[in-house]
Amino acid sequence: MTAPLLHVRNLSVTFPRGRQSFKAVDDVSIDLGPTEALGLVGESGSGKTTIGRAVLRLLPFAERNVSGEIDFHGRPLTAAKAAELKAFRAQAQMVFQDPVSSFNPRRRIEEIVAEGLRIQGVGKTEIAERVDTALAEVGMSRSMVEGRRPHQFSGGQCQRIAIARALALRPEMLVCDEPVASLDVSVQARVLNLLRDMRRARSLAMIFISHDLAVVRSICDRIAVLYMGRIVEIGDVRQIFERPAHPYTRTLLDAVPVPDARAKVVPSPERAVRASRLEEEGGCAFRTRCPFAQDICARVRPELATTPLGQQAACHFPLPAAAVPA
């Protein structure tokens, strides 16, 4: 890979929880190339959003809960001062799951799209130009939005406005956190196509968070599979889909898609806490759900290692290609 745009080493994020602390992200390392799209997948509570927010320095709590290195363009983001952080805000943007709640409901749409540019100190004429261009890129126009506020638009339109707001800053990297999960199925494809087109047209690097593997497959070059805050497998999209090495990845691929996302079972935080305690005792966090677990899985925590299939998996018994039915 050429020099990575984003370089993350040993990122850990802990939340205080009662008397103990809870590791939401545990020793995660990621390199993202300048035009690469990396998918982050894993069940609810596995730490996807926390990773996305951490790499954009958007976590809503003290930095002391975060450890590890995050470099952007080879410069440490963790040590960035206010001016550097402001410049970074133009280079890296986030698209959230629920666009409406990321908007100030009292603002007019053109103000919402222009807000980041104003913060960056862009001049009035250029702001107007860039807002028009960004709206056009997402299939909208100033005359469609003029004087109107977020509640006057559908979820899909709001997400397109949120994408316009991000693109207006001409970022190099976009973190998309379940960007279509809250939308009607009928508009999901439209927003996904838009993100895919924008990625190519703008040569964007992307971290694409989703619990939907089909969505990730359609947009990403590589995939990192998270389980309880740790990457258990990472590799090219084709490797992960055609020859998954980690039993958990197999479980995800085998899961029957539920048409209504709201019907999905959300694991309770309590379960995650219990399992993370298990992990502190040593061994593999997935072993209690793993059909291939052996004694060693309870004693020794598997580290990410390159498998004979080419991807990296954190498993004592990575699945051989032969075990995967076509």
Nearer to Mg ion, 153 or 227 (CB): 227
Nearer to Mg ion, 49 or 188 (CB): 49
Nearer to ligand ADP, 62 or 214 (CB): 62
Residue 216 interacts with ligand ADP (CB under 6 A): yes or no:
no
Beta strand 92-95 pairing with 312-313: unpaired
Among ligand ADP, Mg ion, none, the one that 67 touches (CB under a kind-dependent 5 to 8 A) is: none
Residues that bind Mg ion (CB under 5 A): 48-49
Which residues fall within 8 angstroms of residue 263, CB to CB, at 6 or more apart? none
**Distance set, CA 53 to CA 58, 191, 196, 278, 315 (Å):** 5, 22, 21, 26, 27
User: Which of 5, 7, 8, 50 is in the footprint of ligand ADP by CB under 6 A?
Assistant: 50
Q: Could you tell me if 47 and 13 are in contact, meaning their C-beta atoms sit under 8 angstroms apart?
A: yes
Nearer to Mg ion, 265 or 322 (CB): 265
In the DSSP assignment, the letter for residue 79 is T
User: Which of 4, 39, 45, 247 is in the footprint of ligand ADP by CB under 6 A?
Assistant: 45
CA–CA distance, 145 with 6 (Å, rounded to integer): 35
Site string for ligand ADP, 254-273 (x = CB under 6 A): ---------------x--x-
Q: Which one, of 264, 297, 318, 278, lies nearest residue 45 by Cα?
A: 264
Q: Could you tell me if 313 and 304 are in contact, meaning their C-beta atoms sit under 8 angstroms apart?
A: yes
Alpha helices in 47-184 (DSSP H): 48-55, 82-91, 109-119, 124-137, 142-145, 155-167
Nearer to ligand ADP, 104 or 268 (CB): 268
- The distance in angstroms from the start CA to the end CA of the chain is 30
Residue 97 interacts with ligand ADP (CB under 6 A): yes or no:
no
Residue 49 interacts with ligand ADP (CB under 6 A): yes or no:
yes
CA–CA distance, 288 with 104 (Å, rounded to integer): 44
Nearer to ligand ADP, 15 or 241 (CB): 15
Residue 47 interacts with ligand ADP (CB under 6 A): yes or no:
yes
Q: Could you tell me if 232 and 246 are in contact, meaning their C-beta atoms sit under 8 angstroms apart?
A: yes
Nearer to ligand ADP, 267 or 320 (CB): 267
Least distance in angstroms from the C-beta of 197 to ligand ADP: 26
Site string for ligand ADP, 269-298 (x = CB under 6 A): x--x--------------------------
Stretch that binds ligand ADP, among 37-45, 96-104, 167-175, 179-187 (CB under 6 A): 37-45
Among ligand ADP, Mg ion, none, the one that 210 touches (CB under a kind-dependent 5 to 8 A) is: none
CA–CA distance, 232 with 305 (Å, rounded to integer): 10
CA–CA distance, 274 with 49 (Å, rounded to integer): 21
Q: Where on the chain is the footprint of ligand ADP (CB under 6 A)? A: 15, 24, 42, 44-50, 60, 269, 272
